[in-house]
């Protein structure tokens, strides 16, 4: 992943770069760094950890590049922080992506006497540029990229040059154009306070930025035309508004998000015979719920695919397929690759995307925006619910049952009533926050929710949690059940209620502790559960919309009791732009 930014202009670059990095920190926060060229010298400030830590030092100069890292190769530490310089300190680079042939290139460079200061794949880029430089930085970059395999966006400066070069192949890079200053960044959010004029670079393009000009070339060095796009959205100042964490704020925003998402028009041409849902993580669980719903309501076959698996298994895709990519960021590398593959095979593509003008949003045939607004917490909550809402609308549209939308006002009220009982879930969380392992179970529409609940717990509280279809327990996982392994059972009053109920009995018979999420008025479930959190009764298909709320709050409160870094959990990043 990683976030990169470059500035060239008349202003002091340091603060512009650091403030840009803060907007990009969702892409990774293992280390951060700035390089600025001034009076024929490159000065560097690099730190382990957050961008905030860069602020104690200010470097003078008007040309610079900066980086916030999500570690792929080499542990998070200052030595592995970008920017990297060559041995003569003439060049500095920042890189986002993975150079897959770096070992081979590193050996080659080492044999030539180059010594390395880090364990990263990225550092080889700067040494190759230094090696390939003969009076022209752009030519050195063009020569260097011929050697690189993998995905990258990188920016490079020279100590006495008056330009920044950026190259894109597989990782996002956008140019910001302003008066007497230009920018490069991983995404628009880092630029928008300075300019609304942007150029989205395509793969296999490089940009040569000077203070007053921007030229774009293909990887053969041939100049290409580009389109300047005007950004018509503003960066809402993301604030916690009194909430302890962004995640909690985002959980509580969900009633409004559903209302907002309800307004999104869904007009889908029904010119396909199968839907393929592709996504990663939480977004993929929204896709799995979509499979259950669309097949149930619209009787259209839906395949559910984890994007990172999909692309390499030689999937059967035809022109009759509609491939639906679900993504909050719209930048997830595997989901993007899946969409590109689908287009190559002639399938129709649809994106259910939150971030406006993100790469997937721009590449799909049709995009539906989820209107969740900026999601800052790394753990997805409101984006998930907004994805679900769009999927429900899609299912109603495809099955000509739009009258079902009438229930949504009532659902919103019921979600509000659950949110008002956050303290109740907090007490529940208090009883379990010292557990080391959890099982999550559910059947039918509640199974993807079990997956989502377990993921929430894992990612923010670092407690091991496994999710299973409740009926699958007896095929192995029930061996794990003991007093030390609590189970969270999602068991609303739906068609499979008696089956899930029996599965809970099986756990109790083996002395497992059970927390059930059940429908108000269900007295029986109390008899077989250690704890019950009741949700209001709704029409069967709508339970995922309300049952996800206690799961989010449960994970949140557990992580809070454990004093975890909830909005920026360890090892994670909000936008996953590497494979
Ligand atoms: O931006 P995307 O929706 O494509 O991201 C997909 C996953 O990386 C994301 O949902 C991830 O699993 C979240 N951390 C879950 O909370």
Q: Which two tokens stand for residue 50?
A: 């957050």
- A 10 A CB-CB count for 259 gives 14
Q: What is d(CA 143, CA 241) in angstroms, rounded to the nearest whole number?
A: 50
Q: Assign 505 to helix, strand or coil.
A: helix
Strands 531-535 and 213-218: unpaired
Is 414 within 8 Å of 535 (Cβ atoms)? Answer: yes
Confidence of residue 239 (pLDDT cuts 50, 70, 90): low
Instruction: Look at domain 235-417 and name its CATH class.
Output: alpha beta
Find the 225 Cα to ligand 1 centroid distance in Å: 34
For residues 77 and 48, the answer to whether their CB atoms sit within 8 Å is: yes
Q: CA-to-CA distance for 181 and 472, rounded, in angstroms?
A: 60
569 lines ligand 1 (CB under 6 A): no
Distance in Å, CA 468 to ligand 1 centroid: 20
Higher-pLDDT residue of 209 and 189 is 209
User: Which ligand 1 atom is nearest residue 456's CA?
Assistant: 16
Biggest CA-to-CA distance, the chain? 80
Domain ranges of the chain: 3-232, 235-417, 421-579
Q: What is the mean pLDDT of residues 25-30?
A: 88
Q: For residue 33, what are the β-bridge partners?
A: 46, 67
The CATH code of the domain at 421-579 is 3.40.50.10490
Asked if residue 237 has pLDDT above 60, the reply is no
Three-state DSSP at 59 gives coil
Q: What pLDDT does 400 receive?
A: 95
Token pair listed for 548: 């996800």
| Cβ atoms within 10 Å of 126's Cβ, excluding its own | 24
Average pLDDT on 200-221 reads: 97
Q: How far is the CA of 531 from the centre of ligand 1 (A)?
A: 30
Total length of the chain: 579
354 CB within 6 A, ligand 1: no
Both tokens of 100, joined, read 């897959």
Is the separation of the CB atoms in 191 and 198 below 8 Å? Answer: yes
Residue 253: predicted pLDDT: 95
Question: How far, in Å, CA of 172 to CA of 577, rounded?
Answer: 8
**């709320």: which residue's tokens?**
549
Cα distance between residue 247 and residue 388, in whole Å: 18
User: Residues 350-381: pLDDT tens digits?
Assistant: 999 998 888 999 999 999 999 998 898 999 99
Q: What is the pLDDT of residue 573?
A: 82
498 Cβ partners below 8 Å, 6+ apart? Answer: none
Choose among 535, 519, 531: nearest CA to 417.
535
CA 443 to ligand 1 center in whole angstroms: 23
Whether the pLDDT of residue 450 is over 60: the answer is yes
pLDDT, one tens digit per residue, over 496-552 is 999 999 999 999 999 999 999 999 999 999 999 999 999 999 999 999 999 999 999
| Residue closest by Cα to atom 9 of ligand 1 | 281
Q: Ligand 1: does its nearest atom lie under 6 Å from the Cβ of 284?
A: no
192-201, 208-217, 226-235: which range is least confident on average? 226-235
**CB of 372 closer than 6 A to ligand 1?**
no
- How high is the mean pLDDT of the chain? 95
Tokens (6 digits) for 489: 């059972």
CA distance 410 to 396: 17
pLDDT digits (tens, 9 = 90+) for 59-71: 999 999 999 998 8
CA nearest to 349, candidates 411, 275, 285, 282? 275
- b/e code 548-558 from CB counts within 10 Å (16+ = b): bbbbbbbbbbb
- Of all protein residues, the one whose alpha carbon is nearest to atom 14 of ligand 1 is 379
Q: Is 3-232's fold the same as 235-417's? A: no
Residue whose CA is at the smallest distance from ligand 1 atom 4: 327
Residues 6+ away with beta carbon under 8 Å from 476: none
Which stretch of DSSP H or E encloses residue 184? strand 181-185
Q: Which residue in the block uniquely carries the two structure tokens 């095929």?
A: 475
Mutate to test the pocket of ligand 1, among 26, 189, 280 (most ligand atoms within 8 A of CB): 280
* DSSP percent split of the chain into helix, strand, coil, nearest 5: 40, 25, 40
Q: Would you tell me how many other CB atoms lie within 10 Å of the CB of residue 413?
A: 11
Query: Known catalytic residues?
Result: 2, 574
Q: Token pair for residue 234?
A: 């503003």
Whether 380 is in the pocket of ligand 1, judged by its Cβ within 6 Å, is yes
Q: Is residue 567 within 6 Å of ligand 1 at its C-beta?
A: no
User: Can you list the alpha helix ranges (DSSP code H) found in 244-350?
Assistant: 246-252, 254-262, 281-298, 307-310, 333-344
- Indicate the SS3 state at residue 511: coil
User: How many angstroms is it from 281 CA to the middle of ligand 1?
Assistant: 5
What is the three-class DSSP state of 577?
coil
The verdict on the CB of residue 352 being under 6 Å from ligand 1 is: no
**What letter does residue 254 receive in the DSSP assignment?**
H
Q: Is the CB of 332 under 6 A from ligand 1?
A: yes
Proportion of the chain above pLDDT 70, given as a percent: 99
Which protein residue has the closest C-alpha to ligand 1 atom 11?
A: 281
Assess whether the C-beta atom of 452 lies below 6 angstroms from ligand 1.
Answer: no
**Ligand 1, residues 187, 282, 377, 383: which to mutate, most atoms within 8 A of Cβ?**
282
Tokens (6 digits) for 531: 């704890």
CATH topology assigned to domain 3-232: 3.60.20
Say what the pLDDT of residue 238 is. Answer: 56
Pairing of strands 31-38, 41-48: antiparallel
What pLDDT is stored for residue 389 in this prediction? 97
Q: Is the pLDDT of residue 240 over 90?
A: no
Q: Identify whether the C-beta of residue 391 lies closer than 8 Å to the C-beta of residue 350.
A: no
Residue 233 has pLDDT above 80, yes or no: no
């Amino acid at each position: 992943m990683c976030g990169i930014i470059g500035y060239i202009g008349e202003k002091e670059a340091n603060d512009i770069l650091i403030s840009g990095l803060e907007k990009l920190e969702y892409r990774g926060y293992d280390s951060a760094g700035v390089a600025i060229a001034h009076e024929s010298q490159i000065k560097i400030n690099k730190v382990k950890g957050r961008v905030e830590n860069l602020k104690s030092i200010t470097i003078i100069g008007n040309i610079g590049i900066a980086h916030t890292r999500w570690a792929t190769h080499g542990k998070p530490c200052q030595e592995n922080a970008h920017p990297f310089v060559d041995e003569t300190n003439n060049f500095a680079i920042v890189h986002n992506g993975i150079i897959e042939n770096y070992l081979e290139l590193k050996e080659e460079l080492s044999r030539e006497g180059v010594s390395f200061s880090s364990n990263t794949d990225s550092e080889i880029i700067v040494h190759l540029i230094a090696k390939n430089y003969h009076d022209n930085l752009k030519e050195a970059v063009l020569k260097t990229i011929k050697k690189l395999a993998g995905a990258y966006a990188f920016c490079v400066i020279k100590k006495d040059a008056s330009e920044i070069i950026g190259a894109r192949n597989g990782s996002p890079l956008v140019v910001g154009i302003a008066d007497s200053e230009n920018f490069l960044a991983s995404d628009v959010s880092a630029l928008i306070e300075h300019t609304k004029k942007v150029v989205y670079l395509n793969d296999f393009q490089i940009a040569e930025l000077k203070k007053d000009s921007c030229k774009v070339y293909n990887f053969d060095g041939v100049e290409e035309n580009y389109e300047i796009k005007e950004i018509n959205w503003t960066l809402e100042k993301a604030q916690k508004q009194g909430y302890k964490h962004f995640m909690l704020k985002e959980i509580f925003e969900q009633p409004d998000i559903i209302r907002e998402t309800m307004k999104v028009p869904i007009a889908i041409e029904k010119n396909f015979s199968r839907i393929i849902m592709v996504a990663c993580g939480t977004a993929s669980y929204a896709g799995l719920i979509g499979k259950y719903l669309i097949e149930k309501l619209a009787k259209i076959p839906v395949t559910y695919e984890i994007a990172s698996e999909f692309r390499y298994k030689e999937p059967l895709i035809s022109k009759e397929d509609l491939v639906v990519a679900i993504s909050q960021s719209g930048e997830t590398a595997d989901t993007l690759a899946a969409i590109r593959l689908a287009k190559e095979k002639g399938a129709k593509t649809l994106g259910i995307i939150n971030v406006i003008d993100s790469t997937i949003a721009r590449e799909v045939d049709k995009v539906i925006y989820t209107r969740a607004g900026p999601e800052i917490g790394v753990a997805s909550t409101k984006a998930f619910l907004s994805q679900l809402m769009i999927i429900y609308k899609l299912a109603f549209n495809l099955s000509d049952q739009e009258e079902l939308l009438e229930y949504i006002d009532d659902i919103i009220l019921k979600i509000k009533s659950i949110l008002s009982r956050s303290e109740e879930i907090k007490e529940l969380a208090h009883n379990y926050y010292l557990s080391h392992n959890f099982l999550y179970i559910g059947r039918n529409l509640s199974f993807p929710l079990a997956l989502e609940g377990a993921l929430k717990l894992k990612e923010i509280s670092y407690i091991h949690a496994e999710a299973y279809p409740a009926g699958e327990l007896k095929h192995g996982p029930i061996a794990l059940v003991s007093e030390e392994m609590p189970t969270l059972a999602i068991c609303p009053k739906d068609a499979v209620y008696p089956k899930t109920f029996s599965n809970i009995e099986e756990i109790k018979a083996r002395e497992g502790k059970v927390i059930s999420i059940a429908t108000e008025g269900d007295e029986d479930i109390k008899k077989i559960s250690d704890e019950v959190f009741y949700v209001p009764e709704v029409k069967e298909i709508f339970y995922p919309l309300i049952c996800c709320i206690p799961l989010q709050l449960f994970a949140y409160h557990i992580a809070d009791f454990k004093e975890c870094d909830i909005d920026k959990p360890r090892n994670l990043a909000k936008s996953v732009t590497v494979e």
